Structure 1
Amino acid sequence: MASLPPRRPPASHPPVRRGGLARLVVVLLAAAALGAGLLAAPVHAAPSADEIEAQIDKQWEQLEPTIEGYNKVRAQLKANRIKSAELEKKMAPLELASALAMNQIGALASRYYMSGPSQELGALLTTTKPGTLGEQLVILDRLAGQQRKQLAGVLAIRDRYHAQKQKLDALIAAQVRQQNELAAKKKQIDAEIKRLTASLPKTTVKVTGCPTISGVVSSAVQTAIRVACQQVGDPYVWGANGPDAFDCSGLTQYAYKAAGISLTHFTGAQWSEGRPVSRADARPGDLIFFYSDLHHMGLYLGNDLMVHAPRAGKPVNVLSINYMPVAGFRRVT
């Protein structure tokens, strides 16, 4: 019987390491889960135009008191410069009178210094009339006293006005410093507003004018309302009072100036320049103020509407007065 060939040993395979395979599966599953998580993670969208507008509105509420503070200092500075110029005009004749009086005293002193009093006394002694010497001495003393009194009066008036002018000059210097500080703040405000408004989409918005005003109002109020409404769509520029750009108190000042009524370019001053009116009695043409510090205002149109210059980035427009906390109404006619 033929012998069978010897069997070849089976090919050897590396042993399966079950622990390693399990770890590989876990790693692959974790990577897949991580990838799915990344894909499912929410993507934060850029803020919308409305959200940016809301940010600016919130920041503007804090910035506008500084703007109106600038307007206040500027109005005071203008008034005090006028007062200073008026005082200088009044002081000019006083300075002249003082100089003339000083010249008279100087001439008298020089004459006595050079010649001495003996000449005058000698002339008096040679007189033949009894009692003349005593009379002339009294007259000379009286004349000297009159000159002293006149000079003292002139100098007192001059010094009084000079002291007032010094106070005004000091006040103006302080206000100039304050105005410079506010101007520096203005740059910061403008930079921040520019940064925020740069993110707004560039769109063109057609703004409607004022509604029809019903009720009995004076011709001056009619003019003020008409002029204010003609500015709807004009840009807000703080510190501006027309004719092509406005801030809130600049718009009301401009509108009533056209009606022949002078108002100061500052919300606090316009509050004082009008007489108080309750909300129930408010009528078109009244000034309306907002916030406890009166840092914003507009021109009331009735039916809870006003025309106002809101802020940078928003043109003059018509808005509900319920958008902000109302501080009160004032009537200037």
Structure 2
Amino acid sequence: MAAHRKPKQRPLTGPAARTAVTVALAGAASATAFEGVGQAAPQLSPAQVKAKVDQLYQEAEVATDKYNGTKEQTKASEKSLRTLRDEAARSTARLNTARSALGSMAAAQYRNGAVSPSVQVFLSSDPAQYLDRAAYVERAGDVQATEVSGVQRQLGRLTQLRSEAHTKLGDLRLQQAGLKKQKAAVQSRIRSAQALLARLSAPERAQYESRGGSSDGSPGPHGSGAADRSTVRDAVLAPNSRAAQAVAFAYGALGKPYVWGATGPSSFDCSGLTQAAYRSAGVSLPRTTYTQINSGQRVSRSELSPGDLVFFYSGVSHVGIYVGNGQMIHAPHPGAPVRLAPIDQMPFVGAARPV
């Protein structure tokens, strides 16, 4: 047994103790140094911060646009489902009326001492059994049987359509939930980028935030936002009354905040602003940028007129309203209000003139 005992540990003394302490302290210092490197925030230049924030804002715009599109589809599916349910209820009422008529006939037959087998089927208290045995309807040979057969076919069609609508609605809700998660992830990344932006000097932040001009009067590349706004507004004329009203609405929205999924009147996202502007002029636009670009006559950049919709980025993920002199009004991104800006500020991909 003694051979298997654990040797007794003796404390280190003298040179051995000093060596052990030195090694331990060196290891701790190394670990602390590596940990500090792993946790240190990356040192980005102001230009890199700007590029990162721009990238995240664009990604957020794409996610929001897809979310808005799915939300619209979901609303349409819910409306379709309500219509189907209403129609099914009316058909059920017609079926009950037909069964009541058959009940009267059966009572008369009973008083005469006979109830036909087909009528017995019609009077079944089990609707499933009633429909499963609908083949007997073909042998009823009277007006009531014809009516019941028609209602039976209608209910079968409605059951199929209602099932399809439920399936579609479920798919859309799953997709919408996925897009919400995607949007939340992008928002988290935006917050991280904005934290980096906050590390810049006040002049650097002001330069970034005011690029393209601002609706709240902060300096833009050509002077004060208010001066730019009045100069452009007085210098342009819309080609028709609808475009003029949309432009006027856009000017009235200057300074209102950007909010995810908002269509006014107190806040907007980019396509929500353009939709609301043309809604005020009696023109119905679809909800998303990638559908708005196909909602009117396509025009080239050289043909732009006030009121035209201008689109940006390869995925058609941002839209504004052209107001003339190379300027547009748009809802830029979270934290930036509706503002006046040059269309050269972002990569231009096309324009459309609502009709």
Report the TM-score, using the length of structure 2 for normalisation: 0.66
Residues 280-319 of structure 1: CA distance to partner in whole angstroms, max 9, x if unpaired?
3221101112233221111112232211112223332222
> Equivalent residue for 1:195?
192
Question: In 2, Cα distance between the equivalents of 1:70 and 1:216?
Answer: 32
Is 1:296–2:318 an aligned residue pair?
yes
Aligned to 2:7: none
Q: Is the 8 Å Cα contact of residues 56 and 186 (structure 2) preserved in structure 1?
A: no
| CA–CA distance in structure 2, aligned partners of residues 234 and 92 of structure 1 | 46
CA gap of 1:326–1:118, structure 2 versus 1, over 3 A, is closer
Are residues 178 and 87 of structure 1, via their aligned partners in 2, closer, same or farther at CA, if it must alter by over 3 Å?
same
Corresponding position of 2:175: 178
1:1-333 matched pairs, under 5 angstroms:
47=44, 50-105=47-102, 108=105, 116-117=113-114, 144-201=141-198, 206-207=217-218, 208=225, 210=229, 211-212=232-233, 213-333=235-355
Equivalent residue of 2:268, what SS?
coil
Instruction: Please list the CA deviations of residues 111-133 of structure 1 after superposition, one character each: whole Å capped at 9, or x if unmatched.
Output: 657864399xxxxxxxxxxxxxx
Given that 1:220 and 1:260 are in contact with CA atoms closer than 8 Å, whether structure 2 keeps it comes out as yes
Alpha carbons of structure 1 residues 118 and 148: separation in structure 2 relative to 1, 3 Å: closer
Q: Please, which runs of 5 or more residues in structure 1 have no aligned partner?
A: 1-43, 120-140
- Listed as ranges, the gaps of 5+ residues in structure 2 are 1-40, 117-137, 211-216, 219-224
- Residues in 1 aligned to 2:45 and 2:276: alpha-carbon distance in whole angstroms: 35
CA contact (8 A) 1:278 1:328 kept: yes
Q: Deviations over 1:245-282 (max 9, x none)?
A: 22110111121122222223211222232232233322
**Would the aligned equivalents of 2:236 and 2:323 in 1 still touch at CA under 8 Å?**
no
Residues 248 and 216 (structure 1), Cα distance of their counterparts in 2 relative to 1, 3 Å cut: closer
CA contact (8 A) 2:257 2:336 kept: yes
Provide the rounded CA distance (Å) in 1 between the counterparts of 2:157 and 2:326.
Answer: 53
Q: Any conservation in 2 of the 1:68–1:295 contact (CA below 8 Å)?
A: yes
Q: Which deviates the most, 201-210 or 277-286?
A: 201-210
Distance 2:155 2:328 in 1: 52
Identity across matched positions, percent: 32
Contact kept? 2:81, 2:162, Cα under 8 Å: yes
Q: Distance in 2 between matches of 1:109 and 1:293?
A: 68
Helix, strand or coil: the match of 1:72? Answer: helix
Shift, 1:56, TM fit: 0.8
CA distance, structure 2, for counterparts of residue 265 and residue 150 of structure 1:
44
Specify whether residues 216 and 315 from structure 1 end up closer, same or farther in structure 2 by C-alpha distance, changes over 3 A only: closer
SS of the equivalent of 1:191 reads helix
Q: Is the 1:235–1:244 Cα contact (8 Å) retained in structure 2?
A: yes
Structure 1 residues 99 and 118: alpha-carbon distance in aligned structure 2, compared to 1, 3 A threshold? closer
Query: Matched residue of 1:150: which SS?
Result: helix
Identify the residue that residue 7 of structure 1 maps to in structure 2.
none
Secondary structure of 2:303's partner? coil
Q: Give the CA deviation at 1:48.
A: 5.3
Encode CA deviations 1:42-100: one digit per residue, 9 max, x unaligned: xx995455542321102333332222110110111112222222333333321100122
Please give the secondary structure, in 1, of the residue aligned with 2:302.
coil
- Relative distance call for 1:80 and 1:108 in structure 2 (3 A) is same
Q: Say which is worse superposed, 109-118 or 234-243, in terms of deviation.
A: 109-118
- Separation of aligned partners in 1, 2:54 and 2:98: 65
Structure 1 Cα separation of the partners of residues 147 and 255 of structure 2: 65
8 Å Cα contact 1:234-1:245 kept in structure 2: yes
CA distance in structure 2 between the partners assigned to 1:49 and 1:83 by the alignment? 51
- Seen in structure 2, the aligned counterparts of structure 1 residues 295 and 216 have a Cα distance that, compared at 3 Å, is closer
Paired residues, number = 269
